[in-house]
Amino acid sequence: MSNMEAIRFAYGRALAEAGEKYPDMVALDADVSNSTCSVEFAKKYPGRFFNIGIAEANMVCMAAGLASMGFIPVVNTFSFLLCERALDQIRSSVAYNRLNVKFAANYGGLSDSYDGASHHSITDLGIIRSIPGMALVVISDAAQMRSAMPPILEYDGPVYFRICRAETPVVHKENEPFEIGKGVTLADGSDITVLVTGILVSRALEARERLAAENISAKVIEIHTIKPIDEEIIVQSAKETGAALTCEEGNILVGLGAAAAQVLAREYPVKMDFVGLDDCYAESGEYGSLLDKYGMSVEIIIEKARRLVNSK
C-alpha cells in the first residue's frame, strides 16, 4: 500500500489501450483532455476523438447520438460539471433511453483541492444514484482502474465512474477481478462492518489495523459500485458483525451511506454511522489535509467505529 499513483493517469493509459480491443469506442472531451488524460486516446486514435469545447451539455447530447448509432462513447470532463451542468442531458438523453454511454467523471470528491468549493464534487454520488438506469462506480486506486476499464466498457448501459485527480495509495493488485455490482471483502472481522468506497479504502484499512490494537475486529468491504449495490454482501456482513460504518468522499446525506442505510433498514437494521462531509462545502487546500479537516481522517474512522462497537 506504500506506492502512490494517480488514478487519472492510469485511466488515460487504460482508455488508449482499450481502443484497440473496442473499435467502436470513441472519446469526447470538454476541452480538458490534458487534465482528464483522455489526450492519451486522442494521440493514438485522433479520428475517434472529439474535443467539444467547454460545452458539457452538448457533449452529452452528441454522445447520446453516437450511442444510438452503435458506438461506445466515453465522455470526459470534471465530475461536478458532468453531474450538474449536463444533468438534464444525462437524464433525458442517455439514461431515459438506456443508451450505452460511459461517463469518465474526473477530479472526483475534493481531489481538485486547490480550486475550492466551486470545483469540488461532493454531491455527484447522490445525483447520479437518483437517476433510473444509471450504474455508479467509484474507483479506489490506479490498479483497480486498469482492471475496471473492460467491465465498464462491456456493461450494457450507461455507467458513471468517478476518478480521483491526485496520487493515492495503490491498495489493489494488478488484474484483480472487477465485477460491476459486486462488493469485495478486503479484510475480515467480527465486531463491525466498514463499508468504504473510493480513495478512502486505504484509510479504512489503516484504521482497521489500529483498531485491532484495541481488540476491535473490523471487517472492511469495498463497495466500488454504489448502484447497482451489492445488497447481499452488506446484509450478510451486518448479520455477522451487528454494526456498520460507511466511508465515502462526499456528502453523507447521499451516496454510499444513504444507499447502505436503505438496504439495512429494509433487510436487517443495525447500529450505523457515516464518514464523509457533514453536509458542507470545503475550502481550498492540500488534498490530504482537506480530507482530514472535513471528517474523513483515519482518526475519525477509528473514533466512529469504536463508538459503534461500544454501543452495541
Active-site residue set: 56
Tell me the pairing of strands 218-222 and 184-187. Answer: antiparallel
Residue/partner pairs of 65-71 with CB below 8 Å, 24 or more apart:
66/26, 66/28, 67/94, 67/99, 67/100, 67/101, 68/97, 68/99, 70/24, 71/24, 71/25, 71/26
Q: Are 41 and 72 in contact (CB under 8 A)?
A: no
The x, y and z cell numbers of residue 12, run together, are 488515460
Distance CA 17, CA 94 (A): 25
The x, y and z cell numbers of residue 14, run together, are 487504460
Instruction: Assign 192 to helix, strand or coil.
Output: strand
Angle separating helix axes 142-154 and 7-21, nearest 10 degrees = 40
